[in-house]
Each structure stands twice: as C-alpha cells, then as structure tokens.
Amino acid sequence: MAHRVTGVLIFFFLFVHVLDTALVRVSPEDYDKVVATYKTPIVALLEYGLVAAILFHALNGLRVIAVDFWSKGPRYQKQMFWTVMGVWIVLMLGAVYPVLGHAARVLFGS
C-alpha cells in the first residue's frame, strides 16, 4: 500500500513541478514569487517528505522486482522488506542536514 501511496504523491509533485516551471514562460514575476515560497521552512519539511517518498518508492521497487524475478524472492520478501526499511531509515537520517539545514538556519539562526 505504501508503494502505491508514494507513487501517487511523487506523480502529484511532478505535475505541480511541471506547472510551476511552465509559469516562467507565462509570467516570470509570478514564477519568481512561487520560487521564493520554496525557500520557507514549511516547504523544506515538504521536500524532506518528498525525499522520503522517492527513497522508499525506489528501494521498495527494487524489492518488488526481486520478489517478481528472483525464484527465491517470495520466500525472502519479509526479510527484504525489513532490509529496505533499514536502508531507508539510514538514508533518511543522512538526508536530514542537506535537506533541512537551510530551514534550521532560517528558524534558529546560523
């Protein structure tokens, strides 16, 4: 279920991203305003959520491929799921500073 939810969330992000990028041709001033909102701490949290969704979707997708195409995949899918979760948590911990560092500096000073 989480794989499907993250896929839908990523799709909606890409849809909004295409729309806001297209705005540069229609109204560069409005585009600049939209991009300025992306530098807020709330959007930084949303970006962290996007990173979480993309990483989970990618790692779980590899697990799904292994289950489908590896003859022993169905037997080990539970272990592979927990491996995916472990790798995902480690990568998400590593993404905290790069993604949320600017927001922390804005909120708490440098």
Q: How far apart are CA 52 and CA 57, in angstroms?
A: 8
CA–CA distance, 56 with 63 (Å, rounded to integer): 10
* 101 vs 110: CA distance, rounded Å: 10
Is 57 annotated as ligand-binding?
yes
Structure tokens at 41: 């701490």
Annotated binding-site residue numbers for heme: 57
Instruction: Output the known binding site.
Output: 57
